[in-house]
Amino acid sequence: MTMQPTLHKEGENPGEPGNPQPSDGLKAGLKNRHLSMIAIGGVIGAGLFVGSSGGIAKAGPAILISYALVGAMVVMVMRMLGEMAAASPDSGSFSAYADRALGRWAGFSIGWLYWFFWVVVLAVEATAGAVILEGWIPAVPQWGWALIVMVVLTATNLISVGSYGEFEFWFAGIKVVAIGAFVIVGLLAVFGVLPGSDNPGEGFAHLTDAGGFLPNGAGAILTGVLMVVFSFMGSEIVTLAAGESEDPRRAVTKATNSVIWRIAVFYLGSIFVVLTLLPWNDPSITEKGSYVAALDSIGIPYASGIMDFIILTAVLSCLNSGLYTASRMAFSLGERGDAPKAFAKVRGNGVPVTAILASVVFGFVAVFFNYISPDKVFDFLLNSSGAVALFVWLVICLTQLRMRGILMREAPEKLTVKMWLFPYLTWATAAFIVFVLGYMFVDEANRQVVSLSLLVAGVVVAIGLVLDRRRKALAARV
């Protein structure tokens, strides 16, 4: 007789019905306002500010379709993840669900790959922040700023989960207010009603007046998809953080239900404003960056300095969340026996100190390689983690397909959030993710990223399968 996966592992205490509380040593130190802002700010990465100009240059106004396609995919993935997280909040999120639904090897593999992704991101964001800070205060070298940023945010995470939440609340708040103001002011300038604006207020004319809406052909939309897909990574963080909140189920449900308008306003809305303020082929978009160019077209003074501050905030937010996310995934892996047991130990303040320090040490090592070997070692780390976002989303799809049956059989009352048109939209989302990965492989600019990511994923999966087989053999002997 084959054992069916269960919703909760043996010895696991899911908490009181309707309001599960952390029972694994972590403390409910995140307030509802923290979770709300983490959910809103989680979809706004530094990649939106920095990488959008490249996508606009490749696809023109059609980059809006690229953002819409990826945004729709993220909405579907978040809906699936929300279904599972609302039913069973867990600090390991999709890794823990894959463990239960697909097997120990799946939870092991995607958990370690996700951890690897975020510790590499720590190095990328620390370096990006250091570049901005060195420009402001050149007396401190770039490596010194990177060290300072890493130490400060490590200390923040070590104090308590509440201090992480408070920092993220303000970091995310600045991003949200900045983009909201940009969209409102930009739209006023687009229609020529912003007092003192230098922009001619052409309305929607710039969407078609420079070679049409598809100036580089329909194929550029897919190229744009590849360029923007990674700027959406981070939307799933709220489901990890929910396990340390006052009301996990409510937080996850709220975040899942609001993801559509968040993506519509912050991504599609802000890029739409850029494209209506300036022709897509205006040289200033690539020279200064899309948002700085747009602010300059309005006549906003010190636009470059303003954007540097906002980008620095986004970088620090990403660093702060990256360290939190990596440490909680390491904690969950340790708790499930897929990482050293020390990772699962917490101090009196409910913080998994060893998991945090292990994550930040790897981040420091990656920063070190970024300075001494940027074209070899660090380039390998960056490329080999580049497609992990897509792997994570694909695993979420496959896990939800199996998890729905488990939930229906064991606890149907916990299905407070449901994936739309199940299983058709789940399969369609998974197929789109596979298509994007395949297109990356045939695209020369992305072939190395997907190839190295697949290589690393293959090695991790192989290790997971071997360990799973050993566990089963040991259990059979007993």
**pLDDT, one tens digit for every residue, the chain (478 residues):** 333 444 544 334 443 333 444 445 677 677 777 777 777 766 676 677 777 888 899 899 999 999 999 999 999 999 999 999 988 888 788 999 999 999 999 999 999 999 999 988 888 888 888 888 999 999 998 888 988 999 998 998 898 888 888 888 888 888 888 889 999 999 999 998 998 888 888 889 999 998 999 999 988 998 888 888 877 877 888 888 877 777 778 878 887 887 888 888 888 999 999 999 999 999 999 888 899 999 999 998 888 888 889 888 888 888 888 888 899 999 999 999 999 999 999 887 778 999 999 999 888 888 888 888 877 887 888 888 878 989 999 999 999 999 999 999 998 998 988 999 999 999 999 999 999 999 988 888 889 989 999 999 999 999 999 998 988 888 888 6
CA 193 to chain centre: 36
pLDDT of residue 226: 86
Neighbour-count burial of 391, counting CB atoms closer than 10 A to its CB (0-12 exposed, 13-18 middle, 19+ buried): buried
What's the token pair of residue 196? 């003192």
For 173-242, the DSSP string reads HHHHHHHHHHHHHHHHHHTT-STT--S---TTGGGTTTT-S-TT-THHHHHHHHHHGGGGTTTTHHHHHG
Three-point CA angle 107, 112, 118, nearest 5°:
130
Task: Report in angstroms the alpha-carbon separations of 126 from 120, 229, 316, 370.
Answer: 10, 21, 8, 10
- Let me know: does 410 contact 84? Beta carbons within 8 Å: no
The alpha-carbon radius of gyration of the chain (Å, integer) is 22
pLDDT of residue 282: 93
Report helix, strand or coil for 16: strand
pLDDT of residue 401: 96
Q: Please compute, for residue 418, the number of CA atoms within 13 A of its CA located in the half-sphere on the CB side.
A: 13
Per-residue burial over 238-265, b if 16 or more Cβ lie within 10 Å, else e, is bbbbbbbbebbbbbbbbbbeebeebbeb
Phi and psi torsions of 411, nearest 5°: -150, 65
| Residue linked to tokens 């340790």 | 334
